[in-house]
Amino acid sequence: IKKIAVLTSGGDAPGMNAAIRAVVRACTYYRIECVGVYRGYQGLIEGDFKTLSARHVSNIINKGGTILKSARSQEFKTTEGRAKAFQNLKEAGIGAIVLIGGDGTFTGGLKFIEEYNFPVVGIPGTIDNDIYGTDNTIGYDTALNTVVEVIDKIRDTASSHNRLFFIEVMGRDAGFIALNSGIGAGAEEILIPEKNLGLERLVDSLKKSKDKGKTSSIVVVSEGDKIGKNVFELADYINDNFPHYDIRVSVLGHMQRGGSPSCFDRVLASRLGVAAVEALLDRSTGVMVGITNNEVSTVGLNKAIKMNHDINEELLKVAEITSV
Ligand code: F6P
């Protein structure tokens, strides 16, 4: 392999720039040309490429977002789109791609390998942490810290006004952000998609805490929660069934995806960027590099997106015990 392309796709995540930097610099170190692809798969289809030298990635390790931009390309989901992408890669003399993204990104990569047998290695970059085969995805730690900082602020005003707050956090189908930020910020209840605790239990829990003398409360709700109500409907339901609190709703939204990456995410991204290039040099393909028990690990892309990323039952218990 003489030329490797790198792209970021799907929802951006803090630390993606640190990963791009590590990929570019690992290529420089191993004397391979590195080509940046702009706007994810869409840029692959449109041939939006630029050769990146080690100096092109100076001063980005601390930056949120992605200098390569990101997109959720619909065209890459079509056979014609992927054919154009393959043609562009061939014309540019690119021999492999490093994909930085989450499950949508890896699904696209798998399809591409299946059709063109093109060497691909993935790096997990998503705030959701919903990827199997790595303890953490790039961006998750930063997002958690952002969420905890905001909930701390909401706690101040919740407690001054004796209010109950419902706070919706991201995590399309996964409760990692909700559960961990909820424990870290001392939430009363945490609602996650992996476990439907039911509305009765929520009412009951709020009643009990009121009886125990709590004057304000915070409920963290994952956006993917399967209770069958969105956060506003949930607040209305509680207002109707337990009208003892002045209730407010706060949807944190895309602020969770921004900001300077934590040191943890920068180190993770740097390790995975180097590991991805080394994996390609070792002729690996169709795999994702991750960190498991503090060691670099690899897992098939198909497993990374399909295997269950179970929520830790111990964490659920800790959340329950610490909110008595
Ligand atoms: O996958 C990352 C994520 O931030 C999810 O948590 C969220 O559901 C989704 O992306 C939002 O996507 P978009 O930026 O396209 O609105």
pLDDT digits (tens, 9 = 90+) for 47-73: 999 999 999 999 999 999 999 999 999
Chain centre to alpha carbon of residue 175: 11
Are 190 and 169 in contact, with CB atoms under 8 Å apart? no
Are 174 and 193 in contact, with CB atoms under 8 Å apart? yes
Question: What is the model's pLDDT at position 310?
Answer: 77
Residue 104 CA, closest ligand 1 atom number: 1
Question: What is the model's pLDDT at position 226?
Answer: 82
The residues near 94 (Cβ < 8 Å, ≥ 6 apart) are 3, 4, 5, 35
Q: Confidence class of residue 4 from pLDDT cuts 50, 70 and 90? A: very high
Instruction: Output the residue whose Cα is nearest ligand 1's atom 9.
Output: 172
Q: Please state the rounded mean pLDDT for residues 99-128.
A: 97
Q: Confidence class of residue 153 from pLDDT cuts 50, 70 and 90? A: very high
- For residue 185, the CA-to-ligand 1 centroid distance in Å is 22
Q: Confidence class of residue 197 from pLDDT cuts 50, 70 and 90? A: confident
Question: What is the model's pLDDT at position 228?
Answer: 82
Question: What is the model's pLDDT at position 77?
Answer: 97
Is the beta carbon of 171 within 6 A of some atom in ligand 1? yes
* Average per-residue pLDDT for the chain: 96
Q: Please state the rounded mean pLDDT for residues 237-246.
A: 94
Residue 256 CA, closest ligand 1 atom number: 4
Work out the percent of the chain whose per-residue pLDDT is above 70: 100
pLDDT beyond 80 at 192: yes
Question: What is the model's pLDDT at position 208?
Answer: 92
- For residue 93, the CA-to-ligand 1 centroid distance in Å is 33
Question: What is the model's pLDDT at position 306?
Answer: 83
Instruction: Output the residue whose Cα is nearest ligand 1's atom 8.
Output: 172
Does the annotation place 317 within a ligand binding site?
no
pLDDT beyond 90 at 303: yes
- For residue 2, the CA-to-ligand 1 centroid distance in Å is 34
The candidate with the shortest Cα–Cα distance to 109, out of 124, 99, 95, is 99
Does the annotation place 22 within a ligand binding site?
yes
- For residue 258, the CA-to-ligand 1 centroid distance in Å is 12
pLDDT beyond 90 at 308: no
How far is Cα 162 from Cα 183, in angstroms, rounded to an integer?
21
DSSP class of residue 51 equals E
CA triple 319-323-195, angle to 5 deg: 40
pLDDT beyond 90 at 19: yes
Q: Please state the rounded mean pLDDT for residues 284-288.
A: 98
- For residue 51, the CA-to-ligand 1 centroid distance in Å is 29
Q: CB atoms < 10 A from the CB of 239, how many?
A: 14
pTM recorded for the entire structure: 0.97
Is the beta carbon of 172 within 6 A of some atom in ligand 1? yes
Pocket test for ligand 1, best of 74, 144, 257 (most atoms within 8 A of CB): 257
Is the beta carbon of 170 within 6 A of some atom in ligand 1? yes
Question: What is the model's pLDDT at position 38?
Answer: 98
Are 272 and 124 in contact, with CB atoms under 8 Å apart? yes
Strand intervals (E) in 158-286: 163-169, 189-191, 217-222, 246-251
pLDDT beyond 90 at 307: no
Question: What is the model's pLDDT at position 46?
Answer: 98
Is the beta carbon of 126 within 6 A of some atom in ligand 1? yes
Residue-wise pLDDT for 122-150, tens only, equals 999 999 999 999 999 999 999 999 999 99
Question: What is the model's pLDDT at position 216?
Answer: 95
Query: Which residues are marked as active site?
Result: 128
Does the annotation place 114 within a ligand binding site?
no
Q: Confidence class of residue 196 from pLDDT cuts 50, 70 and 90? A: confident
